[in-house]
Structure formats: C-alpha cells, structure tokens
Structure 1
C-alpha cells in the first residue's frame, strides 16, 4: 500500500504543483510560475500530499489579511472579518478517490481550530455545476452564502463552513 503524508509545500514542489493545477484547470483558475510564487508568499497554509511517487495533491489557503486580487477572495473579505479562504485544491487524476483531498481538508480544519479561526470559505463552479466538489464540500459542512458570475462566463457558489457548528 502506498502511504501518503502531508507537509508544507516547498519551492522544489512548484513544478509539480503547476502541473496539478494545469491538469485541473477546467475547474481552477490558471496559474503560472510567477503567480504561484506570489500566492505561496501570501498563503497562510500551503501543503502537499506526498506518497512514494511524489506530490499527488496540494491545497493553497489565505487568511483574511492577504493582498490577493481574486474577486472571490475579495467577496469574502467584504463580508467576513476572520476566515481562511481555500483558493485551490488539486488532486492528481491518478490519486482521486484515495483520500488525498480529505486528508488535506482534515489537516486544514485542525489548523483553523488551532488558530482560533472559525470560518473556512471557498467557492466552486455552480454553472456549470462541479458536482464532485459540491458533494465533497457538503461533507465538510459547507453551505452556500452567495453566488457570483465570473469574467469567464461561469458562476461560482460561494461557500462557508463554520467550525463551531461542526463536530470535532
């Protein structure tokens, strides 16, 4: 069995993170090396799931005080004082369904609790609907607090999970 561990992302992971982002770009916003460096610098949480074959997934998250120009991030910033914003998660196609995303989210929620941050926020496409993401986030107690149309013609469902409402 291939054992997976989590660790902080390092510069040496960037090429693989970019490849994972590209593989899922139909569900994520594009990201080049310069953008990744900027996001990594601003992030409050940037972890990877690693197995014997290397990095298989990553999760990139920001606090409410980040200098980030994402319209979705700004939407949450205008409405919530304290939160962790899930900017993107990507799991390699070969590792999907093996718990990599769940391990990263479990770890993120533990990180949020330890930091005393009760709101974890994110978005996923609602037009066209990303059903896999919708089901995954529902398992973590996320619920919709708004919708926005993006410049690319797609609509996002803006979601929040309030940790004080969830079982530990």
Structure 2
C-alpha cells in the first residue's frame, strides 16, 4: 500500500460519532440515523469498514441480521445466503480517490472467504443519484 493510500479499517465504537455525522449529511440518499440505531446496526452488520478518520464507510448485512428494512427483507425471503450492502458513503472532499471501489473490493473478498456467492445492494432512484448509478453500473 502506498504511504498516501489510507488503510481500510474495521469500525470501532470510537468512530461511531463520525460515521453518524457523515451518514446524516447524506440522509436524503440513505436514511437519518439516531446514535442508538447506528450502534444497533453496527452490531448486526456482517461487514462495516471505514477509510481514514472518515473519508468513507460501508455497512453490510448478511441473511442473519436482525434488520427491518423492507428491501433487506425482500432478499431474505428469496435467498438463503447473501450479503446486502445497506450504505456506502464517501465524504464530498474525498470523492474521486477510489475509496468506494476499494471498500467494495475488500467486501467482495471478505464475503467470498465467508462462503457467500451473492452480494447485492440497494441503489435509490428517488432522489436520483446519478453518480451512484454510474459507479454501481461500472462495478
């Protein structure tokens, strides 16, 4: 890893305040979270990682999560095993550095090692997010 390429790290409780702030800056595209809800979701997550102090983060659940999202539940009703990417966020000042791609590549490796063959995500259509659409289409 080059010295200017920040490592991908597990999310620790110490990072939750920064994750909450970044998440809630993008509540229109994601959903607003209260601190207690974020802590619960992190506890349920199959994979949650960050880059830097908080240039980017990703949160994913597997089929065993106690998560009430209708979109997540749709997958659980149809697939015995899967990984669901619930949210991936890159801070505005950190965009264009490849953080989201690196997080996905690390997730794919982690999922493969855990025996998963399905990784899925929700990409919101309302409100439109053309940057996210283009990124996910290129994966």
Match of 1:106 in 2: 105
1:133 partner SS: helix
- Matched ranges for 1:70-85 at <5 A: 70-85=69-84
Deviation at 1:59, TM superposition (A): 0.5
> Which one has a bigger Cα radius of gyration?
1
Measure the CA separation in 1 of the matches of 2:81 and 2:130: 28
- Matched ranges for 1:47-126 at <5 A: 47-50=49-52, 54-126=53-125
Measure the CA separation in 2 of the matches of 1:99 and 1:27: 20
Match of 1:13 among 12, 15, 21: 15
Deviation at 1:130, TM superposition (A): 1.8
Deviation at 1:128, TM superposition (A): 3.6
Measure the CA separation in 1 of the matches of 2:26 and 2:6: 21
Question: Which shifted more, 1-10 or 68-77?
Answer: 1-10
When you count strand as a share of all residues, which structure comes out higher? Answer: 1
Measure the CA separation in 2 of the matches of 1:71 and 1:134: 21
Number of residue pairs the alignment of both structures matches: 137
- Matched ranges for 1:133-152 at <5 A: 133-140=132-139
Match of 2:35 in 1: 33
Deviation at 1:94, TM superposition (A): 0.5
Deviation at 1:138, TM superposition (A): 1.5
Structure 1 residues not aligned, in runs of 5+? 141-168
2:55 partner SS: strand
When you count helix as a share of all residues, which structure comes out higher? Answer: 2
Structure 2 residues not aligned, in runs of 5+? none
2:49 partner SS: strand
